[in-house]
Structure 1
Amino acid sequence: MGKKAITAVLLLLIITAQAQLTTAPPVHDPVMIRQDSLYYIFCTGRGISVWSSPDRQHWTARAPVFSSPPSWTTITIPGFTGHFWAPDISFRNGKYYLYYAVSIFGKNTSCIGLATNKTLDPQSPDFKWEDQGKIIQSIPGRDRWNAIDPNLIVDDQGAPWLDFGSFWDGIKLTKLSPDGRSLAEPQQWYTIASRHRTETIPDTAAGDAAIEAPFICKKDNYYYLFVSFDYCCRGEKSTYKMMVGRAGKIQGPYLDRDGTPMTLGGGSLVLEGDRNWNGVGHCAVVECVDGYFLVFHGYDAKDNGRSKLRIERLIWVDGWPVVVRQ
Structure 2
Amino acid sequence: MRRLLAMAAAAGLAVAAAAGPAQEVASVLTGADPDMEAGEDRYWIYPTGGGGLFAWSSVDMKHWERGPRLLSLAAIPWVGDDGAAVHHLWAPDMVAANGSHYLYYSIGPQHPTPSRIGVARCDTLQGPCTDSGKPLVNDGGHGFEAIDPAVFVDSKSGTPYLYAGGSAGATLRVWALRPDMVSIDHEVKVATPRHFTEGAFLFERNGTYYLSYSSGRYDNATYSVHYATAPSPTGPWRYAGRLLASDGKYKGPGHHAFLHDPRDGRWYIAYHRWEGQSGNGPYKGGRVVAIQPVSFGTDGSILPIRMTN
TM bucket normalised to smaller:
0.7 to 0.9
1:152 aligns with 2:127: no
- List gaps (5 residues or longer) in structure 1: 1-17, 122-126, 196-208, 258-267
State the distance in 2 between where 1:238 and 1:281 align: 11
Counterpart residue number, 1:285: 258
For 1:175 and 1:286, how far apart are their aligned partners in 2?
22
Q: Distance in 2 between matches of 1:302 and 1:76?
A: 37
- Measure how far apart 1:146 and its partner are: 1.2
Q: 1:191 deviation in Å?
A: 3.3
Q: Which amino acid aligns with 2:202?
A: I
The structure with more radius of gyration:
1
Matches within 5 A, 1:221-232: 221-232=207-218
What TM-score, normalized by structure 1, do the two folds share?
0.76
What does 1:1-326 align with in structure 2 at a 5 Å threshold? 23-45=27-49, 46-67=51-72, 68-76=74-82, 78-81=84-87, 83-104=88-109, 109-121=114-126, 127-132=127-132, 133-138=134-139, 142-155=141-154, 156-167=156-167, 168-184=169-185, 187-193=186-192, 211-232=197-218, 234=219, 237-257=220-240, 268-288=241-261, 289-290=263-264, 291-301=266-276, 306-317=286-297, 318-323=299-304
Following superposition, which runs of at least 4 residues in structure 1 exceed 4 angstroms of deviation? 105-108, 302-305, 323-326
Cα distance between partner residues in 1 of 2:113 and 2:253: 23
> In percent, how many aligned pairs have the same letter?
28
**In structure 2, what residue type is equivalent to 1:177?**
R
Contact 1:118–1:128 under 8 Å retained in 2? yes
Q: Tell me the matched-pair count.
A: 272
Distance 1:169 1:280, change over 3 A: closer
- CA drift at 1:105: 5.3
Highest relative contact order (Cα 8 Å, sep 6+), 1 or 2? 2
Higher helix share: 1
Equivalent-residue separation in structure 2 for 1:293 and 1:323 (angstroms): 13
Query: Would the alpha carbon gap of residues 250 and 180 (structure 1) be closer, same or farther in structure 2, given more than 3 Å must change?
Result: same
Distance between the aligned counterparts of 2:170 and 2:89, measured in 1? Answer: 23
After TM superposition, the structure 1 stretch with the greater mean CA deviation from structure 2, 213-222 or 51-60, is 51-60
Q: Which runs of 5 or more residues in structure 2 are unaligned?
A: 1-9, 14-25, 279-283
CA displacement at 1:108 relative to structure 2: 6.9
